[in-house]
Amino acid sequence: MSKVEIYTWRSCPFCIRAKRLLDKKGVDYMEYVIDGDENARQDMVDRGSDGKRSVPQIFINDLHIGGCDAIHSLDAQGKLDPLLV
């Protein structure tokens, strides 16, 4: 099974939506709740490939996927499931 990590804020609707998709697929993931933690946010930005500071930011096997729209787009294209095996 792939290693899935997601950086979130507790009340972020996009974070909730992205986690809902992962939950629906039965994916175990590590969630980093970074509400107001600028050091954790900077770690997230440093890991990413596009410099985005928005949440969620999702990584699968250390590959930066992007945010909520990106993971839903991959799913709609049938490209998410192969990354999750």
**CATH code for the domain in which residue 33 is found:** 3.40.30.10
**How many distinct structural domains can be found in the chain?**
1
Q: Which domain holds residue 77?
A: 4-84
Mean pLDDT value of segment 20-48: 97
Res 20 pLDDT > 90: yes
In this prediction, residue 1 has a pLDDT band, given cuts at 50, 70 and 90, of confident
- pTM of the predicted model over 0.85: yes
Res 32 pLDDT > 90: yes
Residue spans of beta strands (DSSP E) within 1-85: 4-8, 30-33, 57-60, 63-66
If phi > 0 it is left, if psi is from -120 to 50 it is alpha, else beta; for residue 67 that is beta
At 3 the three-state DSSP class reads: coil
Paired tokens of 74 = 């991959």
Spatial CA neighbour of 35 closest among 5, 62, 11:
11
